[in-house]
Amino acid sequence: MGSIAKKILEEHIVEGKYEVGEEIGIRIDQTVTQDATGTMAYLQFEAMGLDKVKTELSVSVVDHNTLQTDFKNPDDHRYLQSVAAKYGIKFSRPGNGIIHQVFLERFSRPGKTLIGSDSHTPTAGGTGAIAIGAGGLDVAVAMGGGPFYLKTPTIVGVKLTGELKDYVSAKDVILEVLRRIGVKGGVGKILEYYGPGIKTLSVPERATITNMGAETGATTSIFPSDEITKEFLKLQDREDQWVEIPEGTNEDFDEIIEINLSELEPLVAKPHSPGNVVPLSELYGTTVDQVAIGSCTNSSLKDMLTVATLLKGRKIHQNTVLGISPGSRQVLMHLSKTGGLTDMISAGARLLETACGPCIGMGFAPKTNATTVRTFNRNFLGRSGTKSAQAYLVSPEVAVAAAIFGEFTDPRKLGDYPKIEMPSSIEIDDSLILEPADKPEEVEIMRGPNIAPLPEFQPVPEDFIGTKVLLKVEDNITTDHIMPAGAEILPLRSNLPKISEHVFEQVDPSFPKRALESKENGGGLIIGGENYGQGSSREHAALAPMYLGVKFVLTKSFARIHRDNLVNFGILPLTFSNSADYDKINDNDVLEIKGVRNALENNEKIIVRNVTQGFEIETTYDLSERERQIVLTGGKLSYTVAST
């Protein structure tokens, strides 16, 4: 049979050879963006000077910045709408739902390649697509018809056997994967699901698993396309888009992880990492102040029907607040028609917009020191909007039990497990998905005052002289640490000078000021531990430091998307040849690189000199020839414009 990931990748290769670890360029069939990364992606697409996207399908979704506290977000929405109309992109209006839920329902297709400017793009892997999260610039280039480059990943077969017990659900499967391999266990890998257990999982359940596979650092996750996929597409009135992609067998994989679904118990990821997984039973009795149900991980119709059924006839605990955000307008309409919404409201739930909302700190922030229980995929420090809050990640079933009983408890206390019958038909109404304009030449791009022009990109100089260590951080620093999100900062995504004032705000608020001071004297650098830049795809985590004069980042290792984003904006990603050297560097040390340009041009070793302490550090940079050229030119935009 063969691995399906390998098969789809091979079908799409346009450059390079399929060999684990080697760079390949693949043709991209579909792209998707959301508003928080989209404004930058489309500014970059505009800078490429093309008339129209060259993909089979490109979709722009508005779902992140929907808390409109002033003109900024609605101005950005109008900008995105006008760009979509002009350049041949479908536009999912605010209110239509969360990017990955909408894409799964309406656009995702087995056998296709998709890249999206959001790290949870692999959700579409639930329908047998190769769906990869990337920086906005990579998506812009793909919209322009350029290949997407990646290192050929190792393919890990995740063999599922058995069947989930009552009150154990898809979320527990991915939490189990995280418990086993952690938040960097998937780096450089694709997680491909197979085995008899997959037949017990519907597409939305598979999508919960592929969605949160992002938290392992995996390039993507994928399920085969089978009769269950066909059923799902049929419900979405897209049966004609089904193709069969049979599952692989043991021999097809470089590594195998086996999970017996029958043995799983409800699990929880404790603060402040999705990899911090323990059995729910360890937390029984802990008071819960807030419960939030939704996000691209757990907001499908199946999840929402389960939640509504469990809440029916019950009331939430007086000390716990419950917020629910269904994943799409389609889900919300169905709940509304079939009475599920009434059950939620009657139980005391606060109904939130169908958008990312609390997952990204866009409203519904928990109280001081709260224990907040979420069906989401990330619980990084401060992400909820309240720095002192303790966020736990769970399944919808566990979340409902916490809301009813006001504490972590066994969801089996809710009685017989509801067997959710999925409807045989559902109302499909795409009226909030706008088609591109018939006469694109007549469409005027609408730019509000919040949209600042792109910065100048500078080529790498001969030497880095006077570069100062601005910050030294530990392992697993997330892009939420580097470039926080939340209700105040997210609206600045299209305004680089303004958003740069918030870089590393949670870690060291003096960072932007100090960086700007050093910018005049040779610029700065950041020292990182393992897995630096894990989490989101936000390229602002590279762009904003670049704007503040950061020249290079020296770490023990990088997370994939962030490393690519650094390259895309001309920041050199270096790693220690000997990770013990990490300990020898102090804040404010001056680290120089003589002949950096020459070394990059000739693919030679880069030696960093610690001028302050007087010693040398050997580094490595794992850049392809193409990536070295990108860094030398000052980033991918200059490189792409120069080479077209």
The residues binding ligand MIC (CB under 6 A) are 36-37, 64, 118-120, 133, 360, 378, 485, 535-538
Task: State the minimum distance, in angstroms, from the CB of residue 212 to ligand SF4.
Answer: 9
Task: State the minimum distance, in angstroms, from the CB of residue 529 to ligand SF4.
Answer: 24
Which listed residue (317, 538, 560, 628) is catalytic? Answer: 538
The Cα–Cα gap between 611 and 282 comes to: 50
Task: State the minimum distance, in angstroms, from the CB of residue 630 to ligand MIC.
Answer: 21
Catalytic-residue membership of 252: no
Contact 119, 37 (CB under 8 A): no
Contact 193, 209 (CB under 8 A): yes
Check residue 360 for interaction with ligand SF4 (CB under 6 A).
yes
Check residue 32 for interaction with ligand SF4 (CB under 6 A).
no
Report the candidate in 535, 273, 505, 286 with the shortest Cα–Cα distance to residue 379. Answer: 273
Contact 34, 64 (CB under 8 A): yes
Task: State the minimum distance, in angstroms, from the CB of residue 535 to ligand MIC.
Answer: 6
Report the residue from 30, 113, 354, 377 that binds ligand SF4 according to the rule CB under 6 A. Answer: 377
Task: State the minimum distance, in angstroms, from the CB of residue 173 to ligand MIC.
Answer: 20
Catalytic-residue membership of 180: no
The token duo for 57 is: 């399908």
537's contact among ligand MIC, ligand SF4, none, with CB below 5 to 8 A by partner kind, is ligand MIC
Contact 111, 27 (CB under 8 A): no
Strand order through the sheet with 154-161: 220-222, 189-194, 154-161, 255-260
Please give the C-alpha separations between residue 420 and each of 299, 317, 325, 573, 622, in angstroms, as whole numbers.
15, 25, 19, 48, 49
DSSP string of 244-308, one letter each residue: -B----GGG-SEEEEEEGGG---EEEPTT-TT-EEEGGGGTT-B--EEEE-TTTS-SHHHHHHHH
Residue 531 gets the label, from left (phi > 0), alpha (psi -120 to 50) or beta, of: left
460's contact among ligand MIC, ligand SF4, none, with CB below 5 to 8 A by partner kind, is none
Check residue 372 for interaction with ligand SF4 (CB under 6 A).
no
316's contact among ligand SF4, ligand MIC, none, with CB below 5 to 8 A by partner kind, is none
306's contact among ligand SF4, ligand MIC, none, with CB below 5 to 8 A by partner kind, is none
The Cα–Cα gap between 176 and 237 comes to: 33
98's contact among ligand SF4, ligand MIC, none, with CB below 5 to 8 A by partner kind, is ligand SF4
The Cα–Cα gap between 116 and 40 comes to: 13
Rank residues 64 and 560 by Cβ distance to ligand MIC and give the closer one: 64
- Cα torsion for 589, 595, 600, 604, to the nearest 10°? -100
Contact 391, 272 (CB under 8 A): yes
Catalytic-residue membership of 609: no
Residue carrying structure tokens 């002009």: 86
Which listed residue (295, 384, 518, 536) is catalytic? Answer: 536
Check residue 104 for interaction with ligand SF4 (CB under 6 A).
no
Check residue 33 for interaction with ligand SF4 (CB under 6 A).
no
60's contact among ligand MIC, ligand SF4, none, with CB below 5 to 8 A by partner kind, is none
Residue ranges in 269-298 that form contacts with ligand SF4 under rule CB under 6 A: 295-296
Check residue 571 for interaction with ligand SF4 (CB under 6 A).
no
Within 10 angstroms of residue 472's Cβ, the number of other Cβ atoms is 18
Strand order through the sheet with 23-26: 13-15, 23-26, 148-151
Catalytic-residue membership of 329: no
Contact 203, 295 (CB under 8 A): no
Task: State the minimum distance, in angstroms, from the CB of residue 80 to ligand MIC.
Answer: 13
Contact 497, 544 (CB under 8 A): no
Check residue 561 for interaction with ligand SF4 (CB under 6 A).
no
Task: State the minimum distance, in angstroms, from the CB of residue 393 to ligand MIC.
Answer: 13
The Cα–Cα gap between 495 and 411 comes to: 45
DSSP string of 264-277, one letter each residue: ---EEEPTT-TT-E
512's contact among ligand MIC, ligand SF4, none, with CB below 5 to 8 A by partner kind, is none
Which listed residue (29, 75, 118, 564) is catalytic? Answer: 118
Report the candidate in 345, 217, 357 with the shortest Cα–Cα distance to residue 273. Answer: 217
Contact 510, 498 (CB under 8 A): no
Q: Tell me the helix, strand and coil percentages in the chain, rounded to 5.
A: 35, 20, 45
Rank residues 194 and 558 by Cβ distance to ligand MIC and give the closer one: 558
Site string for ligand SF4, 47-86 (x = CB under 6 A): -----------------x----------------------
Task: State the minimum distance, in angstroms, from the CB of residue 120 to ligand SF4.
Answer: 5
Report the residue from 86, 109, 112, 120 that binds ligand SF4 according to the rule CB under 6 A. Answer: 120
List, in sequence order, the alpha helices (H) in 119-241.
136-143, 170-181, 203-212, 227-235
Catalytic-residue membership of 118: yes
Task: State the minimum distance, in angstroms, from the CB of residue 118 to ligand MIC.
Answer: 4
Check residue 490 for interaction with ligand SF4 (CB under 6 A).
no
Check residue 43 for interaction with ligand SF4 (CB under 6 A).
no
The Cα–Cα gap between 184 and 234 comes to: 36
Stretches 173-181, 353-361, 487-495, 575-583: which one binds ligand SF4 (CB under 6 A)? 353-361
Check residue 210 for interaction with ligand SF4 (CB under 6 A).
no
Check residue 98 for interaction with ligand SF4 (CB under 6 A).
yes
Catalytic-residue membership of 27: no
Report the candidate in 186, 197, 196 with the shortest Cα–Cα distance to residue 255. Answer: 186
538's contact among ligand SF4, ligand MIC, none, with CB below 5 to 8 A by partner kind, is ligand MIC
Task: State the minimum distance, in angstroms, from the CB of residue 359 to ligand SF4.
Answer: 3
Check residue 359 for interaction with ligand SF4 (CB under 6 A).
yes
Rank residues 79 and 576 by Cβ distance to ligand MIC and give the closer one: 79
Rank residues 236 and 537 by Cβ distance to ligand MIC and give the closer one: 537
Residues annotated as catalytic (active site), given as ranges: 63-64, 118, 378, 536, 538
Q: Residues interacting with ligand SF4, by CB under 6 A? A: 64, 98-99, 118, 120, 295-296, 356, 359-360, 376-377
